[in-house]
């Protein structure tokens, strides 16, 4: 599903990442809770524009989970140089460590 990201990028980014020499701005444009999980929809604006879904155990409002989300997005960007859509799943076990 394609999204119109033009309204999203008019606001300040929710986070930023550096991957190699590239700077990325992250915008969360959707959050849905399904059972014990939460699905984040994230727009990534950098050398290219891409979107991704991150699945994580709910609740998501703690610093450890936020760091794991950013690490998952970073790793995905680093390993998918030309993809314009992605998916990352964070397990409860990974969040506990």
Per-residue pLDDT of the chain (97 residues; tens, 9 = 90+): 456 666 677 789 999 999 999 999 999 999 999 998 999 999 999 999 999 999 998 777 778 888 889 999 999 999 988 899 999 999 765 444 4
Question: Token match 């993809």: residue?
Answer: 83
Only one residue has tokens 């997005």, namely 73
**According to DSSP H, which parts of the chain are helical?**
63-79, 92-96
- B/e letters for 28-55, b = 16+ CB within 10 Å, e = fewer, are bbeeeeeeeebbbbbbbbbeeebbbebe
- Can you tell me whether residue 47 is helix, strand or coil? coil
Q: What is the value of pTM for the model shown?
A: 0.82
Contacting residues for 76 by C-beta, under 8 A, at least 6 apart: 52, 86, 88
């Amino acid at each position: 599903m394609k999204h119109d990201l033009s309204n999203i990028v008019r606001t300040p980014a929710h986070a930023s990442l550096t991957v190699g020499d590239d700077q990325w701005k992250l915008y969360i444009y959707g959050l849905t809770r399904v059972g014990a999980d939460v699905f984040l929809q994230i727009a990534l604006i950098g050398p290219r524009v891409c979107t991704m879904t991150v699945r994580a155990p709910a609740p998501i409002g703690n610093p450890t989970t936020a760091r794991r989300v950013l690490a998952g997005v970073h790793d995905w960007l680093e390993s998918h140089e030309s993809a314009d859509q992605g998916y990352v799943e964070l397990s409860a076990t990974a969040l506990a460590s």
